Every structure is written in structure tokens, then in C-alpha cells.
Amino acid sequence: MAKKSKIGSFAVKDCALAAISTGKRAQNLKELREQLLTIHPGAVYYHFWGGLLRPRFDDPEYNNDFASWAHHGLHDITLAERLGIIDPADFEDLEALRQEIIDVLEERMDETEYLPWAKRDRQFHFIRAQTVVFDTNRRIQKPEELPEIMPQLSVGSIYYHFIDARRRPPFGMDDFRAWLEKFDNGYKHLCADIAGIDPYFTGLMELRQQLSLLFNHHFGRAQA
């Protein structure tokens, strides 16, 4: 039996990302590297994760803004591909992710004698993110409610609980697992399945669908 007296309900939150200009920009790889050394970590976060919540009207070639700029601003396809395969979920924190980007840039700089410059109107502008959180006033009282509620959650809620949660204690874990692990009645397999979902190379709507499938399967609910 779950220790219901000690486990609170799951408070469903929603969120939006507020984009804040840093005033920093880059026109070539050297400038990009120099700015990355000291830029606010919120900018590293925004340029990797922010695209999931920003409105997009096409199918982007790359999941992060650095790779996209390398391709469309610098016309360096090799660099774009190297930056494009970086999965931020693989790194312990934003500082480790920042260092990985810098390492990739330095490696590319060592390979070429000529540093391409972006046109003035195609400079890279560093934006940092601030997460604005809203309480939906909705509460999940027990795990068995997850299959029914999951398809109803907004993409902002999915982002907040499955992606942004990893920046909050317990670090590196989404809110669903953090809540389920408080129970002692056999959610280890479910948590392992949730942990197996890559949050980066999956759109928010697809993430919601994958979570819905997992919860329906675990709790024996028939799919609509």
C-alpha cells in the first residue's frame, strides 16, 4: 500500500518561456566562443531547450539554435552537424553543456584557417530564458489518474514537468518520476520506462503521447 498520509498530490503546473535579450551577439566562431565563456547559463538553456516551446511553422533541421546558426548564418555544414547531435539531456548541468559547445567550436576553429563571418543581419543574438510558471489548480491525487489526465495536459505543462523539472531538485529527474518514487507499491518499472524517453529529440506533443501510452499500458487502460 502507498503511504498516502505522507505523499501529497501532484500539482499540475503550466509554463511559458520569457525571452530576455542579453545584448550579446556574435558574427563568427571566435566571437561565439568568447561570448559562451561568460554568457548567462539561461542563454545556453534557451538556445537548446527553448525551441520546444517557441512557435514553429516548419520542420527545423536542427534542434538547437547554435547548430541552426552554423548552417544558415555561417554556412558551415560540418559544424552544424556536430552541434546538432549534442543532446543536452546527456549532461549533468548547463555548465557541462556549455563546455561541450565550446569544445566543439574550438575543434572546428583548429581545423580551418579561415573563419567564416555571418552577414550583419544574420549575427547570432544571445537570448536567455526565464520560466514563467502558472498553477492550473489541478491536482492528481493518485497515480492511477495519470492515464486519464495526461492527454489533457497542455504542452506547457509537459515542458514544465518533464523538461524544466530537471533543473530543480532532485536534479536530472522529471516531476512524474520524482512523485511516483515516493510510493512503495511497485512503480520502479514505470519510472524506468519514463527515464528511457529522450526529452530532447522529441516534440512536446509526441512526448505527451509517449507518456500517455506508458501510463495506459502500466495501469491497464485501453487506448481510445
Q: pLDDT tens digits for 32-78?
A: 999 999 999 999 999 999 988 886 655 578 999 999 999 999 999 99
Closest CA to 66 of 89, 35, 91: 35
Question: Using 50, 70 and 90 to split pLDDT, how confident is the model at 137?
Answer: very high
- Alpha-carbon distance 70 to 81, whole Å? 9
For the chain, what is the mean pLDDT?
91
Torsion sign across C-alpha atoms 20, 159, 63, 45: positive
pLDDT tens, residue by residue, 165-221 = 999 888 889 999 999 999 987 799 999 999 999 989 888 999 999 999 999 999 986
| Terminal alpha carbon distance of the chain | 29
Global pTM?
0.88
**Which amino acid does the sequence have at 94?**
L
Closest CA to 160 of 196, 133, 192: 133
Question: Using CB atoms within 10 A of its CB, is residue 34 exposed (0-12), middle (13-18) or buried (19+)?
Answer: middle
Q: What secondary structure does DSSP assign to the chain, as a single string?
A: ---TTT---EEEEEEEEEEEEEEEEESSHHHHHHHHHHS-HHHHHHHHHGGGTS--SS--S-SSHHHHHHHHTS--HHHHHHHHT--GGGSSSHHHHHHHHHHHHHHHHHH-SS-----GGG-EEEEEEEEEEEEEEEEE-SGGGHHHHGGGS-HHHHIIIIIGGGGSSSTT--HHHHHHTT--SS-HHHHHHHHTS-SSSS-HHHHHHHHHHHHHHHTTPPP-
pLDDT of residue 84: 96
pLDDT tens, residue by residue, 150-162 = 999 999 999 999 9
pLDDT of residue 53: 87
Structure-block grid coordinates of residue 192: 524506468
- Alpha-carbon distance 176 to 190, whole Å? 10
